Structure 1
């Protein structure tokens, strides 16, 4: 797979605008674990290898457990997430898959039990930001860095 273009070189002002939105998300006051959850889960749904790689590494760096990171792709089957995280994961899934499923009232109702209206707006803006990054990275085939190769088990 080869990158289609260098988006920063092709349209620096467009990427500057998306970066400004990202900077807002980072300074929004949302808990770091929630930002990681939003970014990683949306990137999984969107099939963005570049962003999954980045957000797994960032989650580890911020001290989230390997199990918390690894089970996210099957979150509904795992008790590792608390009720607040589960409500947020349901919202991430619904908003990211909006064209397929719409956004069920149940997803919003579960979210509003745990978050204020202000937090819900900030969460949804964070979702918009990562979905934009995913579409850019997947659309232009940004490649994630390759770490040290895995070794074969003996």
Structure 2
């Protein structure tokens, strides 16, 4: 993969601005697992290897079951996710893929009922934030740290 600019080094204030959103989310009501599900699912949709590597590891640290991470891309085909998580994942997909149809009224109403206004607002901010990180990492080919593999 070709080497590209390192925005975090060239324009560190830009990264600080996004980190301010992360600080807000750290004090929000969102559970660590919900935040990681959002980050992983958006990163899957955006093809962000750097963020997938980071957030699957973080999810495991927070106690997420490996099976749920493995099946996250097919969440509709399993009963492993709660009603709230299913609403979060649907919102994540529609906001991440906003150019397709945006956040539909049906999804919005389902999420509002399942999550409430404040939690839904925090979910949307979390989705927007990971999408910023994904776009920074993908457009600059941010490399995934290599870990020695054991065969």
Shift of 1:137: 0.3
Shift of 1:108: 0.8
TM-superposition CA deviations, 1:20-65 (whole Å, max 9, x none): 1111112212111110111110011000000000000000011100
| Structure 2 partner of 1:48 | 48
| Structure 1 partner of 2:140 | 140
| Structure 2 partner of 1:74 | 74
TM-score (norm 2): 0.95
Bigger mean CA offset, 109-118 vs 129-138: 109-118
Q: Which 5+ residue runs of structure 2 have no aligned equivalent?
A: none
Shift of 1:116: 1.5
Shift of 1:102: 2.0
State the alpha-carbon separation in 2 of the partners of residues 128 and 31 from structure 1.
17
1:93-108 pair list within 5 angstroms: 93-108=93-108
| Structure 2 partner of 1:149 | 149
State the alpha-carbon separation in 1 of the partners of residues 83 and 115 from structure 2.
11
Runs of 4+, deviation exceeding 6 Å: none
The number of equivalent residue pairs is: 151
TM-score (norm 1): 0.94
State the alpha-carbon separation in 2 of the partners of residues 70 and 120 from structure 1.
25
TM-superposition CA deviations, 1:108-134 (whole Å, max 9, x none): 121112111111111101111000000
RMSD (Å) for aligned C-alpha atoms: 1.1
TM-superposition CA deviations, 1:80-124 (whole Å, max 9, x none): 111111111111011101101222112112111211111111110
Shift of 1:14: 0.9
The alignment partner of 1:141 has SS state of: coil
The alignment partner of 1:144 has SS state of: coil
